[in-house]
Amino acid sequence: MVYGHSDMGRSHVVDPITLKILVAGGFGAGKTTLVGAVSEIKPLRTEELLSEAGRPVDDIAGVEAKTTTTVAMDFGRITLREDLVLYLFGTPGQDRFWFLWDELATGALGAVVLADTRRLEDCFAAVDYFERRGIAFTVAVNCFQGANRYPEDAVRDALDLDPGTPVILCDARERESVKSVLISVVEHAMMASAARR
Q: What confidence score (pLDDT) does residue 80 get?
A: 84
Neighbours of 94 (CB within 10 A): 17
Tell me the CA distances in angstroms from 26 to 119, 122, 126, 127, one per residue in order: 8, 5, 8, 10
Alpha carbons 134 and 121: distance in angstroms, whole number? 21
> 5 falls in which pLDDT band (50, 70, 90)?
very low
Alpha carbons 185 and 171: distance in angstroms, whole number? 16
User: What domains can be seen in the chain, in order of their start residue?
Assistant: 2-196 (3.40.50.300)
The answer, as to whether pTM is greater than 0.85, is: no
> 15 falls in which pLDDT band (50, 70, 90)?
confident
Asked whether residue 1 carries a pLDDT value surpassing 50, the answer given is: no
pLDDT tens-place string over residues 34-76: 999 999 977 665 555 545 555 555 555 555 555 555 545 688 9
Q: How far is CA 137 from the centre of its chain?
A: 9
161 versus 4: which is more confidently predicted? Answer: 161
Question: Mean pLDDT, to the nearest integer, of 80-85?
Answer: 86
Cβ distance 147 to 118 under 8 Å? yes
Question: Mean pLDDT, to the nearest integer, of 68-89?
Answer: 80
Q: Is beta strand 68-81 parallel, antiparallel or unpaired with respect to 84-90?
A: antiparallel
- Quick one: what percent of the chain has pLDDT higher than 70? 75
Q: What confidence score (pLDDT) does residue 53 get?
A: 52
Picking from 61-75, 148-162, 171-185, which range would have the lowest pLDDT averaged per residue?
61-75
